[in-house]
Amino acid sequence: MPALLEKLLNNFDEDNDEHLMLKGELLRELGRFKAAEKTLNQVTSSNYLKVKDFILDLAENEVAELKELNI
């Protein structure tokens, strides 16, 4: 499964905040926390602020497990 997830990383549009959110979450789940933080910090849309902060917190605490979003 991780090999498939690694392939997916190349299919995101870096100019699209939604894609950056998905990529950041995927990187976090793969345990690539610093890359996840870097990707998520590129998100500029206020529409994603709460979710972005939630995922960033998980990445900063090196939590790779899938977590339920309670916002």
Residue 4 has pLDDT above 80, yes or no: yes
Its pTM stands at: 0.89
User: Can you give the three-state secondary structure of 16-63, one letter per residue?
Assistant: CHHHHHHHHHHHHHCCCHHHHHHHHCCCCCHHHHHHHHHHHHHHHCCC
- Chain mean pLDDT for the chain: 93
What pLDDT was estimated at residue 1?
61
Count of domains forming the chain:
1
Structural domain boundaries enclosing 7: 2-60
